[in-house]
Structure 1
Amino acid sequence: MKTYAIAAIPGDGIGPEVVDAGVEVLEAVAKRDGGFGLRVDRFDWGGEYYKKHGRMMPENGRDLIRKHDAILFGSAGHPDIPDHITLWGLRLAICQPFDQYANVRPTRVLPGITSPLRAVDGPELDWVIVRENSEGEYAGVGGRVHQGSPLEAATDVAMFTRAGVERIMRFAFGLARSRSRKFLTVVTKSNAQRHAMVMWDEIATQIAAEFPDVTWDKMLVDAMTMRMVMRPQTLDTIVATNLHADILSDLAAVLAGSLGIAPTANLNPERAFPSMFEPIHGSAFDIMGKGIANPIGTFWSSVMMLEHFGEQAAAARLMRAIEKVTGDRRLHTPDLGGTARTADVTAAVIDAIHGANV
């Protein structure tokens, strides 16, 4: 029997609460299916580790998780530590060296959840956003000079390489091909950014020739926000830069009902390194310890992890269990307008996993 090694990194805020729930659910579905096992190793890195050691993770942290099959990540962000330190010291310190260049964020309205869009409750919103996850605006190239003086200057340079854009375009077109509509929207800003974004557009056209069965169109990012709200049914698969997709995917999650339900996969498609799976909601320190964090985003991320492992039956079973639970409004957490607690939702999903009809 195959045993998958998972590195669990809860991080900060509600991260430990939802990661613990995610591990419970993964163990339940592994037990139900019986065809594979799990070994979960926990790494308590994050803000509290930083307070003790002056860094978010140990110097050899990546070596400790490099051989794991996947990473289950909670959140990075601490009110006592600047955000750029928490992000670059933990999440990006894993994503970039492990070349997790394809960030995949599915979005749809789950049963029992009503989109704030136009009281849409159903198939009108069913997207997957592909975010370039290794370069662009988050490449980390830049600096500050003359700090504190009237001449102070700062730069953050958006770096785009042909290799980086080609591979994310090829991944996005391939993903679009695998979906029923076979339709991709390429998000850009080439009217104002006349170098890198023009290259982005040109490469999209070149890669599109490799996928003649995929229909595609192009959208400026500002107009894209309007299209997501006013014409959601015209979208399916979306590809955008690191910054643009970061923003658009948060909008997409809220349009689907809540940030608390939104999943993410940070993929290294070539599998040279472990991929990382996480909810997108962040550390949410305002509700930490209250027991009301929505674990659905972590559960859905766990579905994506199982799909990555090739455990399609287990992934489908877990997704059906999630949909059964969200369909019961008594099990909605406060972010969805309900009063359920994290433990209630977790127990209900586990019960559904072991149910006869899931």
Structure 2
Amino acid sequence: MTYEIALIPGDGIGPEVVDRSLPVVEAAADAHGVSLETTRYDWGSDRYLAEGAMMPDDGLDRLRGYDAIFLGAVGHPEVPDHVTLRGLRLEITKGFKQHVCKRPSYLFEGVTGPLRDYGAGEIDFVVYRQNTEGEYADIGGREYRGHDNEVAFQGAMFTREGTETIVRAAFEAASEREGKLTNVTKSNAQAYGMVFWDDVLREIAGEYPDVEVERLLVDAASMDFVRRPDEFDVLVASNLFGDILTDLGAGISGSMGLAPSSNIDPTQTHPSMFEPVHGSAFDITGEGVANPIGTVLSWELLWAHLGEDALARELRAAVRAQLADPDAPRTPDIGGESGSEAVANDLRTRLG
């Protein structure tokens, strides 16, 4: 089987982790009889600084025919964050109706997290984040700029399509895992959008009588990620809350450098997109020490999405074996002194 993948390495350490990880992924694919054809698109902040746009006007049309998209990172210290995010990642997730952002957090053997008394596998949950609307909807404006009465308005939008899609995906995941779903909102303060969200979840819950539903406000959920992370299984949250919680989830699992992510169109009408969570990390760009494992695990999610389950398991097994080996090379974010290339090369030796 041949798959065509669009690569957008993006900004900062994005090109580094994409380039270091690709030989590992290609070797694993070849061993499983899978052919991988990639096309690289150098879209991102450098393009914005040179041409005034993160991606070309026909960018979505160029990406439409691929089996999947792989994104390295977005963000640049010389470009406002709202420009980089809206100009590339959100353009793709919204344009391709990638309503479902799936972000797992797992504490691997050999990784020491910041929370005491938690061992390998005891932190193991996945956050389903609504990915196209909510607090990230482009609704708002500013008036009277520069005057004493300057005002800014930012709205949040929750549609039935977007909310039902992410909630149903989370229930499906919970029914396949441990049968527990945590709904994270802020309904006490946001009496329209979040109460609508709760109403939709309550409707869909009736279709999944075997799934236990826990309801938490986002502040309580954040506290409980630190206090009792082992009790979570599947969580569902809005765009903003899911974004914040998954960074915290990566932190308590050992490192942002280990965290994978997927942006899914459940209808498979459009290609889905996969990316590590860590972002562009300009503070270490060019030093060769960025952790490529979150990128490799994002490829695991990509292959699982495309139905290549054995290939996905192969990549995860290599990561699991490396992290459990005390003599294996490690990047500084998880206590080592090795660089990205050494880690990637070692992963490749562990395939098969």
Is the pair's TM-score, using the shorter chain for normalization, greater than 0.5? yes
Query: What secondary structure, in the 3-state scheme, does the structure 2 residue paired with 1:158 have?
Result: coil
Say what the alpha-carbon RMSD is for the aligned residues: 1.0
* Distance of 1:189 and 1:260 partners within structure 2: 29
SS at match of 1:137: coil
Q: 300, 304, 307: which one pairs with 1:303?
A: 300
Which amino acid in structure 2 is aligned with residue 254 of structure 1? G
- Look up the match of 1:222: 219
Aligned twin of 1:324: 321
Matched residues, percent identical? 48
Tell me which moved more, 15-24 or 313-322: 15-24
Secondary structure of the corresponding residue to residue 80 of structure 1: coil
The match for 1:8 is: 7
Aligned partners of 2:105 and 2:24: how far apart in 1?
Answer: 21
Residues 21-30 or 74-83, more deviating: 21-30
Equivalent residue runs for 1:158-169 within 5 Å: 158-169=156-167
1:263 to 241, 255, 260: 260
Aligned to 2:228: 231
Q: Is 1:286 aligned to residue 283 of structure 2?
A: yes
Q: Which runs of 5+ in 2 are unaligned?
A: none
Q: Which residue of 2 aligns with 1:344?
A: 342
- 1:296-316 per-position Cα deviation (integer Å, ceiling 9, x unaligned): 110000000000110001100
SS in structure 2 of the partner of residue 166 of structure 1:
helix
Give the conservation status (yes or no) of the 8 Å contact 2:24–2:344.
yes
Q: What amino acid does structure 1 have at the position aligned with 2:168?
A: R
Question: Is 1:58 aligned with 2:69?
Answer: no
Alignment-derived partner of residue 151 in structure 2? 153
Q: Please give the per-residue CA displacement for 1:255-274, whole angstroms capped at 9, x wherever unaligned.
A: 00000000000000111111
Aligned residues: 351
Question: CA shift at 1:121, angstroms?
Answer: 1.9
1:162 positional shift: 2.1
Q: Does the alignment pair 1:193 with 2:194? A: no
Answer yes or no: is the 8 Å Cα contact 2:140–2:152 preserved in 1: yes
CA contact (8 A) 2:164 2:200 kept: yes
**Secondary structure at the residue paired with 1:353?**
coil
Query: What CA distance in whole angstroms lies between the structure 1 residues aligned with 2:296 and 2:280?
Result: 16
What is the alpha-carbon distance in structure 2 between the residues aligned to residue 18 and residue 122 of structure 1? 25
For residues 70 and 23 of structure 2, the distance between their equivalents in structure 1, rounded to whole angstroms, comes to 12
Post-superposition, which runs of at least 4 consecutive aligned residues in structure 1 deviate over 6 A? Answer: none
Structure 1, unpaired ranges of 5+? none
Cα distance in 1 between the residues matched to 2:312 and 2:172: 21
Residue 314, structure 1, aligned to residue 311, structure 2: yes
Structure 1 residue matching 2:283: 3-state secondary structure: helix
- 1:21 aligns to what? 20
Within 5 Å, which residues of 2 pair with 1:104-183?
104-179=102-177, 181-183=178-180
* Counterparts of 1:66 and 1:251, CA distance in 2: 33
Shift of 1:231: 1.2
Q: In the TM superposition, what whole-angstrom CA distance separates every residue of 1:86-107 from its partner, at most 9, and x where no partner exists?
A: 1111111111101111000000
Q: CA deviation at 1:218?
A: 0.5
Larger CA deviation: 161-170 vs 245-254: 161-170
Cα-to-partner distance string for 1:132-158 (whole Å, 9 max, x where unaligned): 001100011111111111111111101
Distance 2:129 2:234 in 1: 11
C-alpha deviation, 1:119, in angstroms: 4.3
Contact 2:110 2:120 (C-alpha < 8 Å) held by counterparts: no
- Partner of residue 31, structure 2: 32
Query: Secondary structure at 1:72's aligned position in 2?
Result: strand
Q: CA deviation at 1:22?
A: 2.6
1:232-285, Cα deviation, whole Å (9 max, x unpaired): 122100000000010000000000000000000000011111100000101011
Q: Answer yes or no: is the 8 Å Cα contact 2:109–2:121 preserved in 1.
A: no
Contact 1:22 1:302 in 2 (8 A): no
SS at match of 1:128: strand
Amino acid at match of 2:214: D
The alignment partner of 2:95 has SS state of coil
Alignment match of 1:241 (pick from 218, 230, 238): 238
Letter in 2 for 1:201: D
SS in 2 for 1:117: coil
